[in-house]
Amino acid sequence: MATLNHVDVVVGGDAHALLGEVTDLTGVSTRTEGPFPTNLTNGSGKTVCVVQSWWGARTFGKLQVEFDSNGDVTSCTGKPQFAYDSTTFKNATDDAAFTATQKTAMVSYLNTLDNWHETTPDPSTAASLKVYKDQVSILKATKLADVPENICFERIPGQGRSTLCNVSASYKHGGAACQLVAKGFLHRTKTADIAIQNGGGCRVDIAKGDFTINDGYTMLPFSNTIVTLKMTGAEIKAVLEDALSSSHDGADPSTGAYPYVAGLRMDVDMSKAKGSRVLNVEINSRLAGSWSNIDTSATYEVATNNYIAAGKDGYVTFAKSSVAGTYADTYMEYAQTMIDYAREMKTLVAPPVAEMSTKSYINLNGTSHTPSPPPPTPPPSGASRLTHTFTFAALLAGFLVLY
């Protein structure tokens, strides 16, 4: 704000940060992310009112701004406004509808507040919407593919984000679900060598059974499109370093930045400094050939979503790629792209381990998630080679019999 002039009011949305005061049922008032409005000062030393509407249409803003004769802000006041329908009240613990007594008590409490407003659906609007909602319900249930086994969701290897799989399923290589999404993007983007998807752009496991259109949009709920850009091998390594730093470093890292890449695989060592964490990078263009070491001076075409392509979630090298003029938006919506892939494949299975972009992972504390087997125990001194050869053969025979 200090670098801007001639700005009086800033209205933001979807910042996931509620502004204003919250009063709990005991009457205790606590701040949220800041006051509503938040007053800042612009480059001219003038007051600027900053408000935003939280996220997902959960609030409306009500702001009153007063100006002096020069057009400068003298004051700004207001509160976020909440609309609710008491017929939809449910308990957070068990999702059960409120009893009549509970509903009466809650409405009575909310009526004591000046920024909560009970609403009821407009009958004609509700009837019009129902026509389309019924059609959407049919479309959402449309089956696209079979899923023989659960495909596990994860961000950082071993983080435990899946609701269907044990953490051991993602401990070594991360989540197969987001890896499959990247593979789908690569398959549908016909010119790309590799496809990069951030783990936070995928949201859920792919459950065993039918994969439907609704599953596609549940897994990929954002309004992203697939874009392509040309990058050198060195830039690809740099953007992966960006992603790993964003997903691990600092007091509040964005774990959703962890990268999943189709057509590329790497060793990750988070115990090293940024710039040295991405190791042994291999490329298999379009997963159509064999794996070979990345050429840092060669140029590759990368498919990704337009959110991280703009440098969001810490992918700053995307935003400043040195190969100028190569950014192209395919305008393929990313959920629809996965839906088209599922419809084409007819069966969805987890990518094989050989395709997982995280070949091995060492965490910030230096703990390896893919430890090497322990070295063999040396034979006791003085024992003959014949004796130990016989012992090994006997043990092997025993294992074979047990098997």
What is the residue extent of each domain of the chain? 9-123, 143-362
CA 311 from centre of chain: 14
This prediction's pTM? 0.73
Dihedral angle, C-alpha 177, 178, 182, 188, nearest 10 °: 50
Rounded Cα distance between 157 and 162, Å, is 11
The 10s digit of each residue's pLDDT in 329-344 is 999 999 999 999 999 9
Tokens of 181: 């999404």
Q: Which helix (H) or strand (E) holds 212?
A: strand 209-212
Helix (H, G, I), strand (E, B) or coil at 124: helix
Q: Which helix (H) or strand (E) holds 198?
A: strand 194-198
How does pLDDT run along the chain (403 residues), one tens digit per residue?
Answer: 889 888 999 998 777 778 887 766 666 666 678 889 999 999 999 999 999 888 877 888 889 999 999 999 999 999 889 899 998 899 988 889 999 999 999 999 999 888 899 998 899 999 999 999 999 999 999 999 999 999 999 999 999 999 999 999 999 999 999 999 999 999 999 999 999 999 999 999 999 999 999 999 999 999 999 999 999 999 999 999 999 999 999 999 999 999 999 999 999 999 999 999 999 999 999 999 999 999 999 999 999 999 999 999 999 999 987 566 789 999 999 999 999 999 999 999 999 999 999 999 999 999 999 875 555 545 444 443 333 333 333 333 333 333 3
Class of domain 143-362: alpha beta
